[in-house]
Structure 1
Amino acid sequence: MAPAGSQHWLASGRASPRLVLAVVFVALLLDNILLTVVVPIVPTFLYSTEYEGARSSESPALPEATPSAPGAPPFSCSDTTTVPAGGFSSPGMESSPPAPARGCLQGGEFLAQENTRVGLLFASKALVQLLVNPWVGLLTNRIGYHIPMFLGFTIMFLSTVMFAFSGTYTLLLIARALQGIGSSFSSVAGLGLLASVYPDDSERGSAMGVALGGLALGVLIGAPFGSIMYEFVGKASPFLVLAFLALLDGALQLCILQPSRVSPESARAAPLSTLLRDPYILVAAGALCFSNMGVAMLEPTLPIWMLRTMCPPQWQLGMAFLPASISYLVGTNLFGVLANRMGRWLCSMIGMAVVGISLLCVPLATNIYGLIGPNAGLGFAIGMVDSSMMPIMGHLVDLRHTSAYGTVYAVADVAFCVGFAVGPSTGGAVVRALGFPGLMATVGALNVAYAPLCWVLRSPPAAREKMAILSQECPMHPKSYAPKEAQRELPLTEEAENVQ
């Protein structure tokens, strides 16, 4: 009886959209924990292994720097040392009260160069993912979503183990790039699978909001978890924990999913070039790109800016992102349902405006508590944009092309990747040229300027043949969402349009 019962459970599980949603949720959760767990670890790890290691090998007996006075400029605590003539510091010579055990980091020039190197390391994941995404979209349209998703888990597990045991910048760079490949398979296949098992637009929006909640929870857990584990346990510890969780996710995929199933809509899928020429899809992709570019630029630059101006302990570098993560989790779950009622285009427009305002307020903070408000507003606003634009992508394909979702969610993931590639790779250079406040002002103004374009998505038109079908099915609302009967006829009319 037990084998028969387990087979019945597996059969019902494979047919359950909720269990598919759970698998996608866990996959996005682990991907984004690994994405953000390195944010507080890499800057301090490279500083301790490269800068402090080089200084200790050159002058092992060099005395520690005396902390600067409270009224000194921010850079003085990282670039200036106060050492008596005899080479030993004396308590009587200190004019300021005792400072915390850990002060600002020294080596201003090294930290300035590290902005660029850390930014390139963070961007390597998005750059590789950007190149792989189109091929993953084509692959999912041909063989289905299940095999690519499991392949993504395998690559992600290897990347996590490599992060745990990498001790040089080069190995960390390779591990980050490998993560980009695994993330491409997991995210494109996972979102496409969700869109296929939730054909109703309202249910799809709610499911996308829950799945993006896994993304948000990963971002929420990653940075604080990484900073605390790194400081109190060691560098390898957070990655080994993630590797164990990845194995559990792989076992869940083997039990629930159907790796041998082939997608039936592969022959009618709209080509990538057709989607990239669609102005409505491009507007939605641009909103995803520019709104996420703000937090992408914060990841490599905010910890180093905090080290130079606030002199925080290591654990605060990860905790600074906690308000953004919590508010993003709230925003995605709240507007996954609410955005469909008030208009997803309006949610995206308001969200991008709030993203810009929040970024402008980040440099005004003088301690970690001053970052709570701007970061919380930033995370909530990005949650509004993401939970609105991801369902719009699926709706635009249903309305204007064919209902095969691998390619369109490859475009959506490319938009994410462009933001997370351009942001970190150029953020360090912009900080050196304009300073950290100048960087935040530039990205904030870009989001505010782009926000009005979301109005274009208020009522996107269908293709000509599809509009005729929709007007026959829904004469009172010719631009409303297509019924399921009309959706089944849409791919055939799109093929006729392409032939003409």
Structure 2
Amino acid sequence: MKIIDDLIGADTKFGALLQTCRESRRLVLFIVAIALLLDNMLLTSVVPIIPEFLYSIRHPNESSTTLAPPPVATTPSPPSASGLGANDTEGGNTTLLFIAGSPFTPTNFTPTLSPEEERRLQRHKDLVEENMEVGVMFASKAFVQLMANPFVGPLTHKIGYSIPMFTGFIIMFLSTLIFAFGRSFSVLLIARALQGIGSSCSSVSGMGMLAERYPDDKERGNAMGFALGGLALGVLIGPPFGGFMYEFVGKSAPFLVLSALALGDGLLQLLMLQPGVVKQEADPPSLKALIMDPYICVAAGAITFANMGIAVLEPSLPIWMMDTMGADRWEQGVAFLPASISYLIGTNLFGPLGHRMGRWLAALLGLIIIGFCLIVIPRARDIKQLILPNAGLGFAIGMVDSSMMPELGFLVDIRHSAVYGSVYAIGDVAFCLGYAVGPAMSGTLVKSIGFEWVLFGIAMLNFLYAPMMFMLKNPPTKDENKSLILGEKSSVRYVTYQNEEEDE
């Protein structure tokens, strides 16, 4: 970075402008938001691509056009001596047929299906089997990110936030290129898992950087709402962008575009953030102390349960739409559009609003709305009927995320010390846990109990967890905890003193 500064010259107008930009909190917020946007574009652009692409690998000779949903097999009517079919009527009354003296029933003959119907039914079976494979691939990123977070969080305490942030860009860039040129399940799985490491570096460092630059609780909520808006915009653009590019250009196209955008973000970080070692002045709280804090665990749990529903939908909803609606690739991507738009609105609205009404209340209402939307989604019979429940789901998740992310920083401020790497590692673990458990379970559960019952079960989990938000209404501060402990010790000493006097 010193070489760049020497080339520009600190005494030039551009050098002075550059130095002013480096000191700007808003520019840091913009860089974090862009990093989250690109990370989540990569995360979600594969949603409409991977199921269809994996199916085309397994069935290279099948037409690329999506077939209509499998028809309900109907039993053909056998011929009768009178020449009437099973559904023929005389004078408006149904004629009951007998074959060899016995009433005709579906059990005494084998129905025949046309080759087209057999092909559609076989496709239905293949798509149900593919749920598990797609779920594993989607969950791999979250599992790797889950394992990386406990290392990235404490690392930021020692070297600062800028180096892990830039490392996240490098890893994401490599992951995007592998996605572009990968042509097998194993290679794509590696790319997805590698993205988890990059996401861990970017999200933990980005949120910690914002918490440090915005010490005021209200400003921090607004800033994190804006950053999560970048995340939401990535989720918003990703599925339709991936589906459209895959349909009309090819599989590699969306990932090559993303790699170019990631390269631009990396150059911006290199120029403005000046990656270098910056040690924290305050003593950071230990990861163990934060994990043992029940209030931090409750806030993190809300993030997990809120995101579990959409995490289950990502691998299973496109396949369910292909199976039940005969949806095209672009329709599978567009199905997530209402959720993404409403998430963008929810995060920006409840960043400041959550501070006013109480973040615990915003999260409680969000969890309840999520439950109702998950119950309604499987009742849709075409893409239009998915708009309202998906929009409600995205808005409610935005309520929870934009409330609980700044709440984690607030809890660290009042109950520990103002060093944020580890607490946002926990927050990111909570986010990843939902995206790891959801897709990993969805394949097996959808196959065994069905798509509708899986969403119903997750809805019940959200309903049951919602009352836990009352714990965050008035969390005790560090001084209150000390006073409580000292008060208990004084009471014990007083009782001991009384007992000694009675003994005398």
* Correspondences of 1:258-337 after superposition (within 5 Å): 258-265=274-281, 268-337=283-352
Distance across 2 between alignment mates of 1:454 and 1:255: 42
Among candidates 26, 32, 40, match of residue 18 of structure 1? 26
- Could you say which residue in structure 1 is the equivalent of 2:49? 41
Q: Which runs of 5+ in 1 are unaligned?
A: 57-61, 90-102, 469-500
Distance across 1 between alignment mates of 2:370 and 2:74: 29
Mapped pair 1:222 → 2:221: no
Distance across 1 between alignment mates of 2:249 and 2:73: 30
Distance across 2 between alignment mates of 1:6 and 1:27: 25
Q: Secondary structure at the match of 2:449?
A: helix
Distance across 1 between alignment mates of 2:220 and 2:155: 23
- Could you say which residue in structure 1 is the equivalent of 2:429? 414
- Could you say which residue in structure 2 is the equivalent of 1:7? 15
Distance 1:330 1:397, change over 3 A: same
* Correspondences of 1:55-454 after superposition (within 5 Å): 72-73=71-72, 82-83=114-115, 106-265=122-281, 268-454=283-469
Distance across 1 between alignment mates of 2:29 and 2:19: 16
Q: Over the residues paired in the alignment, what is the CA RMSD in angstroms?
A: 2.4
Partner letter of residue 189 of structure 2? L
Deviations 1:373-399 (A, max 9, x none): 110000000000000000000000000
Residue 188 of structure 1 contacts residue 410 of structure 1 at CA under 8 Å; is this kept in 2?
yes
Distance 1:35 1:105, change over 3 A: farther
Alpha-carbon shift at residue 110 of structure 1 (Å) = 1.9
Deviations 1:178-206 (A, max 9, x none): 00000000000000000000000000000
Q: Secondary structure at the match of 1:107?
A: helix
Distance across 2 between alignment mates of 1:37 and 1:431: 23
TM-score after normalising by structure 2: 0.83
Deviations 1:463-488 (A, max 9, x none): 236877xxxxxxxxxxxxxxxxxxxx
Residue 66 of structure 2 contacts residue 326 of structure 2 at CA under 8 Å; is this kept in 1?
no
Residue 331 of structure 1 contacts residue 383 of structure 1 at CA under 8 Å; is this kept in 2?
yes
Residue 25 of structure 1 contacts residue 210 of structure 1 at CA under 8 Å; is this kept in 2?
yes
Residue 408 of structure 2 contacts residue 427 of structure 2 at CA under 8 Å; is this kept in 1?
yes
Residue 123 of structure 1 contacts residue 420 of structure 1 at CA under 8 Å; is this kept in 2?
yes
Q: Which structure's CA Rg is the greater one?
A: 2
Residue 347 of structure 1 contacts residue 384 of structure 1 at CA under 8 Å; is this kept in 2?
yes
Distance 1:120 1:83, change over 3 A: closer
Distance across 2 between alignment mates of 1:31 and 1:141: 23
Distance 1:13 1:310, change over 3 A: same
Q: Secondary structure at the match of 1:404?
A: coil
Residue 65 of structure 1 contacts residue 83 of structure 1 at CA under 8 Å; is this kept in 2?
no
Q: Secondary structure at the match of 1:312?
A: coil
Deviations 1:396-454 (A, max 9, x none): 00000010000000000000111000000001111111100000100011101111101
- Could you say which residue in structure 2 is the equivalent of 1:100? none
Distance 1:105 1:396, change over 3 A: farther
- Could you say which residue in structure 2 is the equivalent of 1:99? none
Partner letter of residue 28 of structure 1? L
Residue 36 of structure 1 contacts residue 222 of structure 1 at CA under 8 Å; is this kept in 2?
yes
Partner letter of residue 179 of structure 2? F
Distance 1:297 1:65, change over 3 A: closer
Q: Secondary structure at the match of 2:450?
A: helix
Partner letter of residue 408 of structure 2? M
Distance across 2 between alignment mates of 1:171 and 1:265: 43
Alpha-carbon shift at residue 67 of structure 1 (Å) = 6.2
Distance 1:104 1:464, change over 3 A: farther
Distance across 1 between alignment mates of 2:56 and 2:209: 43
Alpha-carbon shift at residue 111 of structure 1 (Å) = 1.3
Alpha-carbon shift at residue 313 of structure 1 (Å) = 1.3
Distance across 2 between alignment mates of 1:74 and 1:247: 53
Distance across 1 between alignment mates of 2:181 and 2:329: 21
Distance 1:223 1:204, change over 3 A: same
- Identical amino acids, percent of aligned pairs: 57
Partner letter of residue 82 of structure 1? S
Distance across 2 between alignment mates of 1:14 and 1:341: 31
Q: Secondary structure at the match of 2:250?
A: coil
Residue 40 of structure 1 contacts residue 227 of structure 1 at CA under 8 Å; is this kept in 2?
yes
Distance 1:158 1:74, change over 3 A: farther
- Could you say which residue in structure 1 is the equivalent of 2:478? 463
Partner letter of residue 215 of structure 1? L
Alpha-carbon shift at residue 210 of structure 1 (Å) = 0.1
Distance 1:313 1:355, change over 3 A: same
Distance across 2 between alignment mates of 1:340 and 1:193: 20
Partner letter of residue 47 of structure 1? Y
Partner letter of residue 175 of structure 1? A
Distance across 2 between alignment mates of 1:345 and 1:170: 42
Q: Which runs of 5+ in 2 are unaligned?
A: 1-6, 76-111, 484-504
Number of equivalences = 438
Residue 28 of structure 1 contacts residue 187 of structure 1 at CA under 8 Å; is this kept in 2?
yes
Residue 66 of structure 2 contacts residue 322 of structure 2 at CA under 8 Å; is this kept in 1?
no
Deviations 1:339-390 (A, max 9, x none): 1001100000000000000000000100000100110000000000000000
Distance across 2 between alignment mates of 1:106 and 1:160: 33
Distance across 2 between alignment mates of 1:31 and 1:68: 34
Alpha-carbon shift at residue 68 of structure 1 (Å) = 7.8
